Amino acid sequence: MLHIKSVEEGLKIFVALGSELRINIIKLLIEHTELNMNELASSLGVTNGALTSHIKKLEDCGLICVISEHNGHGNQKICRVNVDKLLVDIAPKQSDDGKNTYTTDIKVGYFTDYEVLPTCGLASSQAIIGEVDDPRYFAHPDRYQADIVWFTKGYVEYVIPNLLPPLQKIDQITFSVEIGSEAPGINNDWPSDITISINNVELGTWTSPGDFGDVPGIFTPDWWFPNWNQYGLLKMIVVNQYGTFIDGLKISSVTIDDFKLDKRSPIKLKFQVKEDAVNSGGLTIFGSSFGNYNQDIKVRVHYSPVKGKREE
């Protein structure tokens, strides 16, 4: 996969794809796996000389590769498509100048407390960690390598680092995470009520519509099992003075002021499927190297000075 992280970074690729002839070259190579220059020129109805500059543009931006092979009649150039996916991030990443904010990424295996029921498991980008459906491996040190975590009922809890400077108060906590349900096998119609809490105060519940496995996740590794969950939905949760919001929609009246957070306060983030949930369809948390977003749990904390107070 070729991952372009900005429009500017993809300029060469966009130029290369701005030609019908070059698009047809890629189509032919996908259809035939590989072709030499003579075969391409003949199929496209152009001369080898006219073809050369188009091949070079496609090769320079990484869309195809050209390999020289020796045969009894001399050298020939074999062309092949070099990528199976092309991912372009259009939206710019939020800038963080460090003023009145701090950010952190929490790997999905870095939970500090848990209670889970099968089906359950963890995996790194390379392999399953321990044994599937054995909750004991949620306590194994290898869990820190996990890039995907799943369970049917229970919770995992993470500590958000409290890096609040002196004489400051937290005005807003924003976190984003790719999550979905956990079905036996896969089932895109498998709702699950996922409750999110900070310091054991429930922020609200979001109902995941399913355990998505209709197509492979963009970043899910090739070794991953095709009949297991492949990707989730990216959800953004905001807690501020006005309440708690998921993707801009208010889900509860719990505000940041309810927590009375200062620089000494623990900040614990919990994802839970309750025993008595109406839709008890499990939970999968996708980190980097899995799913469609290649990210861990992203946290951003906004703060401002506490007026009229001195450092104790």
- The verdict on 284 and 181 lying in the same domain is yes
Which residues 6+ apart lie within 8 Å of 277 measured at CB? 153, 192, 193, 195
pLDDT at 185: 86
Q: How does residue 146 score in pLDDT terms, banded at 50, 70 and 90?
A: very high
How many helices (H) and strands (E) are present in the chain, helices listed first? 4, 19
- The verdict on 206 and 255 lying in the same domain is yes
Q: Is residue 52 scored above 70 in pLDDT?
A: yes
Q: pLDDT, tens digit, for every residue of 89-142?
A: 765 555 555 579 999 999 999 999 999 999 999 999 999 999 999 999 999 999
- The verdict on 103 and 194 lying in the same domain is yes
Which has more pLDDT, 95 or 83? 83
Q: Is residue 215 scored above 70 in pLDDT?
A: yes
- The verdict on 283 and 225 lying in the same domain is yes
Distance of CA 235 to the CA centre of its chain: 11
Task: Find the mean pLDDT for residues 235-256.
Answer: 96
- The verdict on 257 and 290 lying in the same domain is yes
- The verdict on 70 and 205 lying in the same domain is no
Q: pLDDT, tens digit, for every residue of 194-209?
A: 999 999 999 999 999 9
Q: pLDDT, tens digit, for every residue of 14-50?
A: 999 999 999 999 999 999 999 999 999 999 999 999 9
- The verdict on 20 and 154 lying in the same domain is no
Please tell me the pTM assigned to this model. 0.77
Report the domain count for the chain.
Answer: 2
Task: Measure Cα distances from 233 to 206, 211, 284, 287 in Å.
Answer: 11, 10, 10, 12
CATH number of the domain within which 81 lies: 1.10.10.10
- The verdict on 54 and 118 lying in the same domain is no
Q: Is residue 176 scored above 60 in pLDDT?
A: yes
**What whole-number distance in Å separates Cα of residue 261 and Cα of residue 254?**
14
Q: What residue numbers bound the domain in which 75 lies?
A: 2-87
Closest CA to 264 of 167, 187, 134: 167
Question: Has residue 311 been placed in a domain?
Answer: no
- The verdict on 103 and 74 lying in the same domain is no
Average pLDDT of every residue of the chain: 92
Q: pLDDT, tens digit, for every residue of 56-65?
A: 999 999 999 9
- The verdict on 79 and 194 lying in the same domain is no
- The verdict on 111 and 214 lying in the same domain is yes
Task: Measure Cα distances from 185 to 117, 119, 217 in Å.
Answer: 16, 10, 15
Q: Is 196 exposed, middle or buried (CB count within 10 Å of its CB: 0-12, 13-18, 19+)?
A: buried
pLDDT at 69: 81
Residue with tokens 């952190």: 104
Question: Has residue 310 been placed in a domain?
Answer: no
pLDDT at 72: 60
Last residue of a domain, one of 26, 55, 87: 87
Last residue of a domain, one of 72, 87, 102: 87
Question: Has residue 33 been placed in a domain?
Answer: yes
